């Protein structure tokens, strides 16, 4: 494409001379700066366009047409590539959305199963199923230290100094009662320090509250009674 007015060649043909090249000396670039040389070459291009031969004009137009066709082909190829990239990105977005939906559904199902398992566990814990499985008997007698004990048949007293209380038939068993974490909360003060409180539920329904600092809360606590 030309960067000059198309009316310029017509004006030059009307008022100029076809032998204009002979009027310019061979060393016309001497004494000119680069900007002046570039401007003079553009002026020469206008004069060449004005006095070009029919053959040169036909060849120039053919070259311009080929360049235009090549440019359109390249533009169409770029547009096809852009459309292909957009289609690929759209497919990726759809696949990501489907994967997110599947992950959300899977998380919801896992949470539902975990909640059901927790409810079943808490119901069994409150019913005392674990005590029955561990042969727990709340009416079992205790010794002077508060420990549960099972008294068996006592043997006859003998004069042997090595006879100990274990030979008397008394068997002792230590049972540690634990309580499970219930409702709880964690708070943070303006300085970034964290503190918590938690309610623990025992097997017989007894509850008690504990306080602490930090963000880690124990899931079980020994019955304080």
pLDDT tens-digit readout, 71-111: 999 999 999 999 999 999 999 999 999 999 999 999 999 98
CA 201 – CA 178 distance, rounded (Å): 9
Residue from 55, 68, 65, 52 nearest 12 by CA: 52
22 versus 121: the higher-pLDDT residue is 121
CA angle 142, 143, 148 (to 5 degrees): 40
pTM of the model: 0.36
- The whole-number average pLDDT for the span 16-28 is 80
Highest-confidence range of 20-34, 66-80, 132-146, 194-208, by mean pLDDT?
66-80
Helix axes 34-50, 7-15, angle to 10 degrees: 80
pLDDT at 97 (0 to 100): 93
**Sole residue written with tokens 């053919």:** 62
The answer to whether residue 205 scores a pLDDT higher than 90 is no
Highest average pLDDT, of 54-63, 91-100, 187-196, comes from: 91-100
Q: Which of 199, 211, 151, 146 is nearest to 177 (CA)?
A: 146
Mean residue pLDDT across the chain: 79
CB atoms within 10 A of CB 1: 5
- The model's pLDDT over 136-184, given as tens digits with 9 standing for 90+, comes to 566 667 777 666 676 543 434 444 444 444 444 444 445 667 788 888 8
């Amino acid at each position: 494409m030309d960067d000059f007015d198309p009316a310029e060649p017509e004006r030059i043909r009307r008022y100029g001379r076809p032998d204009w090249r002979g009027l310019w000396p061979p060393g016309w670039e001497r004494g000119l700066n680069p900007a002046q040389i570039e401007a003079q070459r553009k002026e020469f291009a206008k004069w060449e366009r004005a006095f070009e031969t029919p053959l040169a004009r036909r060849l120039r137009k053919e070259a311009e047409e080929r360049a235009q066709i090549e440019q359109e082909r390249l533009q169409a190829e770029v547009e096809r590539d852009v459309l292909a990239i957009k289609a690929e990105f759209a497919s990726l977005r759809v696949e990501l959305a489907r994967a997110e939906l599947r992950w959300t559904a899977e998380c919801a199902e896992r949470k539902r199963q975990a909640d059901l398992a927790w409810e079943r566990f808490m119901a069994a814990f409150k019913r005392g199923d674990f005590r029955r499985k561990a042969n727990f008997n709340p009416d079992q007698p205790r010794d002077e230290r508060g420990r549960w004990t099972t008294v068996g048949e006592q043997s006859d007293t003998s004069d042997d100094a090595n006879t100990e209380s274990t030979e008397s038939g008394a068997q002792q068993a230590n049972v540690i009662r634990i309580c499970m974490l219930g409702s709880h909360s964690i708070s943070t003060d303006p300085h970034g320090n964290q503190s918590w409180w938690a309610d623990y539920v025992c097997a017989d329904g007894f509850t008690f509250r504990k306080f602490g600092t930090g963000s880690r809360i124990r899931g079980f606590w020994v019955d304080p009674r």
